[in-house]
Amino acid sequence: MSHQEKNVLGAVSDAAIDPKDKERAITRRARNRIRGLSHHAYYTTDAEKTRHFYEDILELPMTIALRIPDEVFTGKPAPYCHFFFEMGDGSSIAFFDYPDIFDGEPPFTVSTVYHHHIAVNVDSVAAIEYFQKKLSSEGYEGTYVDHGTFFSLYLRDPNGMNLELTYTPPMAEEYNLRAEKTAHAELKAWVATRA
């Protein structure tokens, strides 16, 4: 078992799972007023390169492209484009091509994926391997990580945004049920350690 796997699996220990834990998780999720991700928006200065990456390489259909003539909050004439790529659950990854605001360098940069990234689900490890080959053939190199209960490919998109393609196998549901039992204690221990 790798050091990474020990860290991830060790955080949940061997907490016993009650047969009703899954039922409670389903009920809890159903009561949550926040229903899911609508979209995650980021900047771009090259709309076509971004379209190619998300639509042609990652195979997410572009479903919305809005050319907007005025800045929405101030009403100032400042044309921009806001466009969306749809994922399998109906949520989207979206971009702003906004020359008056972002015409060059990204609004912020981070040194590693741990500082900021967006993780999107794929349906299998084979899908990660499939996209890793497609991305590599287009010059986008990624880093594959086996986290012990899920698998990820980390890379940067053409805009410098950190992206994680991740697969969580069905067996990870048991991990999630155990993690729920220890989450508050783990965070409390972290806060004490950090202090």
Q: Are residues 179 and 139 in the same domain?
A: yes
What was the pLDDT predicted at 125?
94
Which residue range forms the structural domain that includes residue 71? Answer: 36-107
Q: Are residues 63 and 150 in the same domain?
A: no
Q: Are residues 69 and 163 in the same domain?
A: no
Q: Of 73, 107, 141, which marks where a domain is finished?
A: 107
**Domain count across the chain:** 2
CA–CA separation, 152 and 146 (whole Å): 7
Tokens linked to 160: 């410098």
Q: Of 90, 107, 124, which marks where a domain is finished?
A: 107
Order the strands of the 143-146 sheet from edge to edge: 118-121, 162-167, 151-156, 143-146
What was the pLDDT predicted at 165?
97
What was the pLDDT predicted at 7?
59
Query: Backbone phi, then psi, for 153, in 5-degree steps?
Result: -120, 120
What was the pLDDT predicted at 23?
87
**Could you say which DSSP state residue 58 is in?**
S
Q: Are residues 86 and 145 in the same domain?
A: no
What was the pLDDT predicted at 15?
67
Strands 151-156 and 143-146, sheet pairing: antiparallel
8 A C-beta contact, residue 69 and residue 79: yes
Residue by residue, pLDDT tens for the chain (195 residues) are 565 555 555 666 666 778 888 888 889 889 989 999 999 999 998 999 999 999 999 999 999 999 999 988 888 898 999 999 999 999 999 999 988 887 777 767 788 887 889 999 999 999 999 999 999 999 999 999 998 888 999 999 999 899 999 999 887 788 888 888 888 998 999 999 998
Is the dihedral angle over the CA atoms 109, 38, 33, 30 positive or is it negative?
Answer: negative
**In this structure, what CATH number is given to the domain that contains residue 19?**
3.30.720.110
Q: Are residues 127 and 175 in the same domain?
A: yes
